[in-house]
Amino acid sequence: MDNTYSKAPLSEVIMGITLKQPVLGKNGLIYEIINAFKNDYPLIRYGNPLEDLEMVDYSLEPKIDYNYTGPVLYRLSTIDTNWLVQLQFNKIFFNWIKKDEEREKDYPGFTSIYKRYAQLAAFIQNNLHSEFPVKFCELTYQDRIFWQEHIDDLSEINKIMKIILPAINDNGRIYSPNNIFSKYTLPVEKIGGYAIVSINTATTKENKQVISFQCTLRGTVKDMLIDDWYEVAREMQNKLFNDSFNKKFLELLK
Protein backbone atom coordinates (compact mmCIF):
# COMPACT_ATOMS: atom_id res chain seq x y z
CA MET A 1 0.00 0.00 0.00
CA ASP A 2 2.88 2.38 0.81
CA ASN A 3 4.30 2.38 -2.72
CA THR A 4 1.37 1.18 -4.83
CA TYR A 5 -1.26 3.74 -3.88
CA SER A 6 -0.30 7.42 -3.87
CA LYS A 7 -3.85 8.31 -2.75
CA ALA A 8 -4.24 5.63 -0.08
CA PRO A 9 -6.82 6.82 2.49
CA LEU A 10 -4.54 6.11 5.47
CA SER A 11 -5.48 8.17 8.51
CA GLU A 12 -3.40 6.52 11.24
CA VAL A 13 -0.49 4.13 11.69
CA ILE A 14 0.30 2.74 15.15
CA MET A 15 3.40 0.76 16.10
CA GLY A 16 3.74 -0.71 19.54
CA ILE A 17 5.45 -3.09 21.91
CA THR A 18 4.03 -4.71 25.03
CA LEU A 19 6.66 -5.86 27.52
CA LYS A 20 6.60 -8.91 29.76
CA GLN A 21 7.68 -6.84 32.75
CA PRO A 22 6.88 -3.25 33.85
CA VAL A 23 10.45 -2.13 33.22
CA LEU A 24 9.57 1.46 32.33
CA GLY A 25 8.38 1.92 35.90
CA LYS A 26 11.74 1.00 37.42
CA ASN A 27 14.18 3.65 38.64
CA GLY A 28 12.08 6.45 37.17
CA LEU A 29 12.87 5.40 33.59
CA ILE A 30 9.52 6.53 32.22
CA TYR A 31 10.22 10.08 33.46
CA GLU A 32 13.66 10.01 31.83
CA ILE A 33 11.99 9.12 28.54
CA ILE A 34 9.42 11.91 28.87
CA ASN A 35 12.17 14.43 29.70
CA ALA A 36 14.35 13.28 26.79
CA PHE A 37 11.55 13.65 24.22
CA LYS A 38 9.65 16.64 25.61
CA ASN A 39 11.15 19.10 23.11
CA ASP A 40 9.93 17.07 20.14
CA TYR A 41 6.65 16.06 21.81
CA PRO A 42 5.81 19.00 24.12
CA LEU A 43 2.08 18.37 24.60
CA ILE A 44 1.54 15.95 27.48
CA ARG A 45 -1.80 14.40 28.37
CA TYR A 46 -2.78 11.57 30.67
CA GLY A 47 -5.19 8.68 30.30
CA ASN A 48 -6.16 5.33 31.71
CA PRO A 49 -3.65 2.51 31.13
CA LEU A 50 -4.12 0.36 28.03
CA GLU A 51 -5.27 -3.20 28.61
CA ASP A 52 -3.91 -6.32 26.95
CA LEU A 53 -6.11 -8.22 24.51
CA GLU A 54 -5.21 -11.88 24.31
CA MET A 55 -6.69 -14.48 21.98
CA VAL A 56 -7.98 -17.47 23.94
CA ASP A 57 -9.51 -20.08 21.63
CA TYR A 58 -12.16 -18.09 19.73
CA SER A 59 -12.38 -15.13 22.10
CA LEU A 60 -10.45 -11.94 22.69
CA GLU A 61 -10.03 -11.54 26.43
CA PRO A 62 -9.10 -8.15 27.90
CA LYS A 63 -6.60 -8.31 30.74
CA ILE A 64 -5.24 -5.53 32.90
CA ASP A 65 -2.92 -5.67 35.90
CA TYR A 66 -2.07 -2.27 37.35
CA ASN A 67 1.09 -3.70 38.87
CA TYR A 68 2.29 -4.07 35.27
CA THR A 69 0.65 -1.09 33.56
CA GLY A 70 1.28 1.47 36.26
CA PRO A 71 -1.38 4.02 37.27
CA VAL A 72 -1.45 6.14 34.11
CA LEU A 73 -0.87 6.26 30.34
CA TYR A 74 1.34 9.18 29.28
CA ARG A 75 0.52 10.67 25.88
CA LEU A 76 3.15 12.98 24.37
CA SER A 77 2.39 14.68 21.06
CA THR A 78 3.81 17.22 18.66
CA ILE A 79 2.28 20.70 18.47
CA ASP A 80 0.38 19.75 15.30
CA THR A 81 -0.78 16.49 17.03
CA ASN A 82 0.24 14.42 13.97
CA TRP A 83 2.79 12.42 16.01
CA LEU A 84 2.07 10.75 19.32
CA VAL A 85 4.14 8.79 21.85
CA GLN A 86 2.22 6.65 24.36
CA LEU A 87 3.96 5.21 27.41
CA GLN A 88 3.01 3.15 30.42
CA PHE A 89 5.12 0.83 32.55
CA ASN A 90 4.72 -2.13 30.17
CA LYS A 91 3.90 -0.52 26.80
CA ILE A 92 5.56 1.68 24.19
CA PHE A 93 3.35 2.96 21.36
CA PHE A 94 3.99 5.40 18.54
CA ASN A 95 1.28 6.93 16.32
CA TRP A 96 1.21 8.91 13.11
CA ILE A 97 -2.18 10.61 12.78
CA LYS A 98 -3.81 12.45 9.89
CA LYS A 99 -7.01 14.24 10.81
CA ASP A 100 -10.06 14.18 8.52
CA GLU A 101 -9.59 17.85 7.64
CA GLU A 102 -6.01 17.11 6.53
CA ARG A 103 -6.90 14.77 3.68
CA GLU A 104 -4.43 16.42 1.30
CA LYS A 105 -1.50 15.91 3.67
CA ASP A 106 1.00 13.39 2.35
CA TYR A 107 1.53 10.06 4.07
CA PRO A 108 5.17 10.05 5.25
CA GLY A 109 5.57 6.34 4.48
CA PHE A 110 6.15 3.27 6.60
CA THR A 111 9.94 3.65 6.62
CA SER A 112 9.82 7.21 7.93
CA ILE A 113 7.36 6.33 10.71
CA TYR A 114 9.27 3.21 11.68
CA LYS A 115 12.55 5.16 11.87
CA ARG A 116 11.09 7.54 14.47
CA TYR A 117 9.53 4.64 16.36
CA ALA A 118 12.83 2.72 16.35
CA GLN A 119 14.66 5.77 17.74
CA LEU A 120 12.25 5.83 20.67
CA ALA A 121 12.62 2.09 21.30
CA ALA A 122 16.42 2.30 20.99
CA PHE A 123 16.61 5.08 23.58
CA ILE A 124 14.60 2.98 26.00
CA GLN A 125 16.71 -0.12 25.37
CA ASN A 126 19.95 1.83 25.84
CA ASN A 127 18.77 3.22 29.17
CA LEU A 128 17.47 -0.06 30.56
CA HIS A 129 19.58 -1.76 33.17
CA SER A 130 17.94 -5.08 32.36
CA GLU A 131 16.84 -6.99 29.26
CA PHE A 132 14.11 -5.71 26.92
CA PRO A 133 11.50 -8.47 27.45
CA VAL A 134 9.07 -8.18 24.52
CA LYS A 135 5.72 -9.93 25.01
CA PHE A 136 4.29 -8.99 21.62
CA CYS A 137 4.50 -6.38 18.87
CA GLU A 138 1.68 -4.55 17.12
CA LEU A 139 1.11 -2.76 13.84
CA THR A 140 -2.18 -0.98 13.17
CA TYR A 141 -3.32 0.71 9.95
CA GLN A 142 -6.52 2.74 9.81
CA ASP A 143 -8.07 3.93 6.54
CA ARG A 144 -10.98 6.36 6.32
CA ILE A 145 -12.96 6.39 3.09
CA PHE A 146 -15.39 9.23 2.35
CA TRP A 147 -17.87 6.82 0.83
CA GLN A 148 -20.42 9.38 -0.43
CA GLU A 149 -17.83 10.47 -3.00
CA HIS A 150 -18.03 6.99 -4.55
CA ILE A 151 -21.53 5.62 -3.91
CA ASP A 152 -24.97 7.03 -3.08
CA ASP A 153 -25.96 4.55 -0.40
CA LEU A 154 -24.25 2.03 1.89
CA SER A 155 -26.18 -0.73 0.16
CA GLU A 156 -23.70 -0.21 -2.71
CA ILE A 157 -20.67 -0.75 -0.50
CA ASN A 158 -19.62 -3.74 -2.60
CA LYS A 159 -18.51 -1.18 -5.21
CA ILE A 160 -15.84 -0.16 -2.69
CA MET A 161 -15.25 -3.21 -0.52
CA LYS A 162 -15.67 -6.94 -0.96
CA ILE A 163 -18.52 -7.25 1.52
CA ILE A 164 -22.28 -7.68 1.27
CA LEU A 165 -24.48 -6.13 3.93
CA PRO A 166 -27.66 -7.68 5.34
CA ALA A 167 -30.94 -6.23 4.10
CA ILE A 168 -34.69 -6.80 4.35
CA ASN A 169 -36.71 -7.24 1.16
CA ASP A 170 -40.31 -6.41 2.05
CA ASN A 171 -42.30 -7.13 -1.11
CA GLY A 172 -39.85 -5.22 -3.26
CA ARG A 173 -39.03 -2.49 -0.77
CA ILE A 174 -35.44 -2.87 0.43
CA TYR A 175 -34.41 -1.86 3.92
CA SER A 176 -30.61 -1.58 4.02
CA PRO A 177 -28.16 -0.47 6.75
CA ASN A 178 -27.29 3.16 7.32
CA ASN A 179 -24.48 2.26 9.73
CA ILE A 180 -21.86 -0.49 9.96
CA PHE A 181 -20.25 -1.78 13.14
CA SER A 182 -18.30 -5.00 12.72
CA LYS A 183 -15.18 -6.71 14.04
CA TYR A 184 -13.36 -9.85 12.91
CA THR A 185 -10.39 -11.82 14.22
CA LEU A 186 -8.04 -13.72 11.93
CA PRO A 187 -5.32 -16.11 13.13
CA VAL A 188 -2.08 -15.16 11.33
CA GLU A 189 0.59 -17.78 11.94
CA LYS A 190 3.27 -15.85 10.05
CA ILE A 191 3.37 -13.12 12.72
CA GLY A 192 2.91 -15.49 15.65
CA GLY A 193 -0.50 -14.08 16.51
CA TYR A 194 -3.65 -12.68 14.98
CA ALA A 195 -5.33 -9.75 13.26
CA ILE A 196 -8.27 -7.71 14.49
CA VAL A 197 -10.16 -6.13 11.59
CA SER A 198 -12.82 -3.51 12.27
CA ILE A 199 -15.15 -1.98 9.68
CA ASN A 200 -17.27 0.88 10.99
CA THR A 201 -19.03 3.99 9.79
CA ALA A 202 -18.54 7.40 11.36
CA THR A 203 -19.39 11.07 10.91
CA THR A 204 -16.65 13.71 10.68
CA LYS A 205 -16.68 17.13 12.33
CA GLU A 206 -17.78 18.52 8.96
CA ASN A 207 -20.74 16.09 9.01
CA LYS A 208 -19.34 13.91 6.24
CA GLN A 209 -19.78 10.15 6.25
CA VAL A 210 -16.77 7.84 6.34
CA ILE A 211 -16.04 4.13 6.43
CA SER A 212 -13.28 3.33 8.90
CA PHE A 213 -11.28 0.25 7.96
CA GLN A 214 -8.80 -0.69 10.69
CA CYS A 215 -6.54 -3.69 11.14
CA THR A 216 -4.32 -4.43 14.13
CA LEU A 217 -1.73 -7.17 13.73
CA ARG A 218 -0.46 -8.47 17.05
CA GLY A 219 2.05 -11.27 17.56
CA THR A 220 5.03 -12.64 19.39
CA VAL A 221 8.60 -12.24 18.21
CA LYS A 222 10.18 -15.67 18.51
CA ASP A 223 12.39 -16.68 15.61
CA MET A 224 12.97 -13.26 14.06
CA LEU A 225 14.27 -9.80 14.87
CA ILE A 226 11.78 -7.07 15.80
CA ASP A 227 12.64 -5.21 12.57
CA ASP A 228 11.83 -8.33 10.57
CA TRP A 229 8.55 -8.82 12.42
CA TYR A 230 7.40 -5.36 11.39
CA GLU A 231 8.35 -5.98 7.76
CA VAL A 232 6.26 -9.17 7.76
CA ALA A 233 3.37 -7.37 9.48
CA ARG A 234 3.58 -4.58 6.91
CA GLU A 235 3.39 -7.18 4.13
CA MET A 236 0.30 -8.71 5.76
CA GLN A 237 -1.33 -5.27 6.07
CA ASN A 238 -0.78 -4.59 2.38
CA LYS A 239 -2.22 -7.97 1.39
CA LEU A 240 -5.28 -7.45 3.57
CA PHE A 241 -5.90 -4.02 2.04
CA ASN A 242 -5.59 -5.34 -1.52
CA ASP A 243 -7.84 -8.32 -0.80
CA SER A 244 -10.52 -6.29 0.99
CA PHE A 245 -11.28 -3.61 -1.59
CA ASN A 246 -12.83 -3.66 -5.04
CA LYS A 247 -10.32 -3.52 -7.91
CA LYS A 248 -11.99 -0.51 -9.52
CA PHE A 249 -11.80 1.39 -6.24
CA LEU A 250 -8.13 0.46 -5.83
CA GLU A 251 -7.41 1.86 -9.29
CA LEU A 252 -8.66 5.25 -8.09
CA LEU A 253 -6.01 5.27 -5.37
CA LYS A 254 -3.02 4.91 -7.69
- pLDDT recorded at residue 125: 87
What pLDDT is stored for residue 1 in this prediction? Answer: 61
Q: Is 151 exposed, middle or buried (0-12, 13-18, 19+ CB in 10 A)?
A: middle
Low-confidence ranges of the chain (pLDDT < 50): none
Please report the pLDDT score of residue 37 as a whole number: 95
pLDDT of residue 2: 60
The residues spanned by each domain of the chain are 10-252
pLDDT in tens, 79-99: 999 999 999 999 999 999 999
Cα distance between residue 170 and residue 176, in whole Å: 11
Please work out, in degrees rounded to the nearest 5, the angle formed at the alpha carbon of residue 73 by the alpha carbons of 69 and 78.
145
Q: Are 212 and 142 in contact (CB under 8 A)?
A: yes
